[in-house]
Structure 1
């Protein structure tokens, strides 16, 4: 199964700096559908995408991992049944 990333922080930065995902896509030379797919885990950001995004969004090289490589945590719920005897 492919690894899933949590892009919430990236989405916030895109909104803060660019306003819209469309403006962000244009700013890094990508299409809006690609950005939408990538942010929804259906495509991956390549090295060039990450470098262009970091420059446009003023993300330092030390912060790139927080925006592009934070693993998505899945909450597993377990239920226990108590039997009355």
Structure 2
């Protein structure tokens, strides 16, 4: 199953400008974050929790940002 991370990407760009700056704050390489956002590697629970914190999101936002199933139209 693939997830649609467009909303998450938008929030990353809004808050950090680039995936590289966001990656450093998250403690991962830019390549790893890119692979996660492109459904090559899954986010861990710890990474989701830290992402929510550094993007100033609520824990209740996790499903909206991390579990939006990618449809054939996306």
Question: What band does the TM-score fall into relative to the shorter chain?
Answer: over 0.9
1:32 aligns with 2:30: yes
Q: Which has the higher contact order (CA 8 A, sep 6+)?
A: 2
RMSD of the TM alignment (CA)? 0.7
Equivalent of 1:53, from 51, 54, 57? Answer: 51
After the TM superposition, list the runs of 4 or more consecutive aligned residues in structure 1 that deviate by more than 4 angstroms.
Answer: none
Distance (Å, rounded) in 1 between the aligned partners of 2:12 and 2:57? 11
Alignment: residue pair count: 73
Query: Which segments of 5 or more consecutive residues in structure 2 lack a partner in the other structure?
Result: none
Q: TM-score, normalised by structure 2?
A: 0.95
Query: Which segments of 5 or more consecutive residues in structure 1 lack a partner in the other structure?
Result: 76-85
